[in-house]
Amino acid sequence: MDTPIITHHAAQRAKERMGLNRKAILRQAKKALMWGIKLSDVKGNFERYLYRRNTRYETGTKVRVYGEYVYIFSSDLILITPQSASPPGGSF
């Protein structure tokens, strides 16, 4: 498996949103790529919610849901940003 690249922006957002340092976010990003739920495996309201988030980024992005977070990677495995999987307000 290829190792994802963690950008400065992604590391900052991981620290703010998840409380993780660069080494920890790298481990989590690897797990998300390997075992995370793909956008194509999700149905219903959660699928629509993830598609809305994904349309903000360039085509070819990889979205993975792992744990309580959504990880958005570029096509060349650069972590763009980790985000909470829960929508504001708490329901889909």
pLDDT tens-digit series, residues 60-88: 788 899 999 999 898 889 998 888 887 66
Q: Is the model's pTM score more than 0.85?
A: no
**Structural domain contains residue 62:** yes
Vertex 26 angle, CA 24 and 32, to 5°: 105
Domain range for 70 is 5-84
Domain assignment of residue 92, yes or no: no
* CA 81 to chain centroid: 6
40 within some domain: yes
Which tens digits make up the pLDDT trace of 33-69?
Answer: 999 999 889 898 888 888 777 666 667 788 899 999 9
Average pLDDT over residues 10-23: 94
Question: Is residue 90 one of the residues assigned to a domain?
Answer: no
Predicted local distance difference test score (pLDDT) of residue 24? 96
Q: What pLDDT shows up at residue 62?
A: 86
What's the pLDDT at 37?
92
pLDDT confidence band for 89 (50 / 70 / 90) = low
- 38 domain residue, yes or no: yes
Instruction: Decide if 64 is inside a domain.
Output: yes
Side-chain-side CA neighbours of residue 12 (13 Å): 4
- Quote the number of domains for the chain: 1
Question: Is position 43 within any domain?
Answer: yes
Whether residue 71 is contained in a domain is answered as: yes
